[in-house]
Structure 1
Amino acid sequence: MPIPSRTVFCLGLAQLISWGISYYLIGGFGEAMSADLGFSRGLIYGGFSVALLVMGLSSPLVGSLIDRHGGRSVMIAGTLLNAIGCITLALCRGPVLYFVAWIVLGLAMRLTLYEAAFAALARLGGPQARRAMSQITLPGGLASTVFWPLGHLIAEHAGWRGAVFAYAGFALLTIPLHLAIPRGRYADGVAHDAGPQHVPLAQTPRARLLAGALYAVIAMLTNFLNAGMSSHMIAILTGLGVAATTSVWIGALRGIGQSASRLSEILFGRRVPPLLLNLAACSLLPFAFIAGLFSGTVGIAALAFAFVYGATNGIVTITRGTLPLVLFDHRVYGSLVGRLLAPSFVVSAAAPLIYASVIDRFGEAGALYLSLAAAGIAFAAAAWLAVAFRPATSVTR
């Protein structure tokens, strides 16, 4: 049976809320929290780094749990932790409770964000889950577009603490959405009845090792960039000379770019193999940061920076979920991808601190040059992966 459209709709809406109240929280309130709590920028963004580290350490276990028990109970548990983490953060007055809040939010993010949702869909749809994966990222891509301005509006009236309390309420709203996830599992026999079964492109141990290494590198670098941009995009734009309020709205354009590219993938990308789609996105990624370097002097460059980065990040988020469906055995999707993604969470945990340090020492342009270098390496890895595992080499039976 195909994945129910109701499940896809509810999971997509849950992704929009879950990303907005957790991953994008620091980008909206980081500077306000620093001023109110009297913490240094390094300590403030260090909390988010701890959360990403917790995501990495828990990644293999969470993937295995979803393989065994499905996404329903796992993601509901994550929802409750999101609410607890937001409440704890809103109540904190010192560094101990501040870091406790981010530890809770880190585990909550691993249990509720795309990686968990993709594993849940792979368990339900097997090799046929690609379309559903793309569809849930469409509303999810608008998380920063919705929650950065919304959080800014709430904070103007209730302060950042009131806004984060409100985020806890939003978290609880996702419980009925996650209840829409079926308890079943994809049956391989259906594929035999429906037609030829696709064999994973990486069939030998050596091929699986190469595919896994390149996939992990791409995920690591794109997650590093995502963590850095989620934490500092608004601050980078402001530091380059864009007005603070304008920076918030330009930063929100990133979400529009994400959803626009994901809508294009849903409408037109079905015939494009994930390997080529990933390569196309990674090839455009460096141009976003080149545009960013001119954001302070050329108005259109700031818009291009946010939109193009959002569009490319939107596609690589999808291919991070769909590449394992063509490269590896879908039956161990959760546990395998959980292990491969663990280094990316650990490396991205350092991104907020690294970006903060680079900005302090070399300015906002230095942060963009760092991003450009990471984007170039990601493109090289994507090209290697596309050449080594060309879709034409796939085998069906």
Structure 2
Amino acid sequence: MTLRKLILGPWRAVLVLGVTQILAWGILFYPPVLMMPLIAAERGWSLSFAMAGFSLALLVAGFVAPTIGGLIDRHGGHVVMAVGSLIGACGIALLPFAAHPAAYLAVWTILGIAIAGNLYDPAFATLGRIFGTAARKPITYLTLAGGFASTVSWPATQVSLTFTDWRGTYLFFAAILLLVAAPLHAFALPRTRADPPPAVEGTVTIVPAVVPARGMIFFLVAAAFATYAFIPSGLAAHLIAMFGRAGIDPAVAVTIGALFGPSQVAARVCELAFGGRAHPLNLARFSVALMLSGFALLALFGFTLPAAIAFAILFGAANGLLTIARGAVPLALFGADGYGRVLGRIAKPYQVTQAIAPLALAFVVERGGDAPALAVTAAFGVVSLICLAAIRRPKS
């Protein structure tokens, strides 16, 4: 592919979304881990209440996701994601001024709409609209860029906090969404829509068989991803603390946690190089099985340093692959027609589980300790794998 075709053709969408995904994840999703203690301390709130705002945003994102996906099907990501960036800029800019608890929760409700309009699901829907059934490879390339979001976001947030406070940092982030992400979505994303291949008289065109996005198969797909969502969301909030309680030095624990991002990217590179011929269902099954092998290591060896390192690598690799599968499985099973809304319907229970997981796992940790919490988390993985194993691929 020439540079001219890359810039002027549909693949420009991958470049544009690669940049905006790093910005969106780095502004809307990752900073709360660093910001919430500061907000809670200044406002005089509990850390649980401060984090409840973020959980509320994820719940709202789940409920509006089907609508966002349907709008992308009709109008394109260049319209819907641009509006999502503007809503995100508005919400982020209002956060420093939301001193009342009700106003604070109202702002996070706005940010929930922004999350639904900016992160992976709308980006995948946009690529599905542009590339049709050929969107799997663009989705994989996009996740390579998205895998660096945490690597960029946390250091950038920390650096910003050394020059200003959390208020100034959020206002700076709002300006980035307003002046960089929104214009890129509005003016740089391709407006094309994939067309089905034309029928040629006297020939038979073989297309992938798809099933309706309803019934048992759809339920199993949505349930598989929703139950899996409990694992990364719950562990992201508790895993480093678990390492510390197991006696691992805090600095070492943070270093182990930092292996998550590079492992995601490495797994996605391997999928791009070697896994393109594998059916997305098999990719999803392998991802969850890889995650469960990490839990098996912890069950056998405990939180020893080698087991913790291995778990972090397996955790990152599995999550990296399953992110691709979240976009590729619905495309392979249900087709490109209405893909955005289908993704949104799958995202709804996914986001709800993602919002509930940190609080639910905190409840288990407080009452039973780390071992029962890990067992509960692994049980969600087992359910996810059972759902994926029960899905039967349609015959071509």
Q: TM-score, normalised by structure 1?
A: 0.88
* Aligned partner of 2:333 among 323, 327, 340: 327
What is the deviation of 1:77?
Answer: 1.0
Contact 1:7–1:181 (CA under 8 A) maintained in structure 2: yes
**Residue by residue, what CA displacement relative to the aligned partner does 1:114-171 show, whole Å, maximum 9, x if unpaired?**
1001111111111011100111010101212221233233334434333333332332
Contact map agreement 1:144 1:252 (CA 8 A) in 2: no
Q: 2:250 & 2:162 partners in 1: Cα distance?
A: 14
CA contact under 8 A between 1:148 and 1:248: conserved in structure 2?
A: no
- Identical positions, percent: 36
TM-score (norm: length of structure 2): 0.88
- Aligned residue for 1:189, secondary structure, equals coil
Return the match for 2:79 from 67, 73, 83: 73
Give distance in 1, aligned partners of 2:347 and 2:55: 16
* Among candidates 56, 60, 70, match of residue 62 of structure 2: 56
Alignment of 1:78-117 (within 5 A): 78-117=84-123
Contact 2:222 2:346 in 1 (8 A): yes
Query: 2:286 maps to which residue?
Result: 280
Alpha-carbon spacing, 1:4–1:158, altered in 2? closer, same or farther (3 Å): same
Contact 2:10–2:192, Cα closer than 8 Å, also in 1: no
Residues 231 and 378 in structure 2, CA contact (< 8 A), matched pair in contact too: no
CA shift at 1:266, angstroms?
1.3
Q: 1:253 aligns with which of 247, 252, 259?
A: 259
5+ unaligned residues in a row in structure 2: which ranges? none
RMSD in angstroms over aligned alpha carbons?
A: 2.7
- TM-aligned CA distance change 1:157 to 1:289, over 3 Å: farther
In structure 1, C-alpha distance between the alignment counterparts of 2:183 and 2:103, rounded to whole Å: 29
Structure 1 unaligned spans of 5+: none
| Count of equivalent residues | 387
**1:278 deviation in Å?**
0.9
Q: Using the alignment, how far apart are the partners of 2:56 and 2:301 within structure 1?
A: 30
The whole-number CA distance in structure 1 between the counterparts of 2:51 and 2:12 is: 37
Give the distance between the partners of 2:159 and 2:302, measured in 1 at CA: 25
Q: Rate the CA distance shift 1:309–1:191 in 2: closer, same or farther, 3 A.
A: farther
Instruction: Output the CA distance in 1 between the equivalents of 2:73 and 2:219.
Output: 22
Partner of 1:182: 190
Displacement after TM superposition at 1:198 (Å): 1.9
Worse overlay, 45-54 or 81-90:
81-90
Deviating more after overlay: 231-240 vs 281-290: 231-240
Q: 1:382 aligns with which of 375, 388, 394?
A: 388
Asked if 1:133 corresponds to 2:134, the answer is no
Contact 1:288 1:309 in 2 (8 A): yes
1:203-352 matched pairs, under 5 angstroms: 208-291=214-297, 297-352=303-358
Q: 1:88 to 1:117 in 2, by over 3 A?
A: same
Task: Say if 1:300 and 1:378 are closer, same or farther in 2 by CA, change over 3 A.
Answer: same
How far did 1:236 drift?
3.7
Q: Deviation per CA, 1:195-242, whole angstroms, max 9, x where unpaired?
A: 834233436x8xx52220111011101222232234334444444444
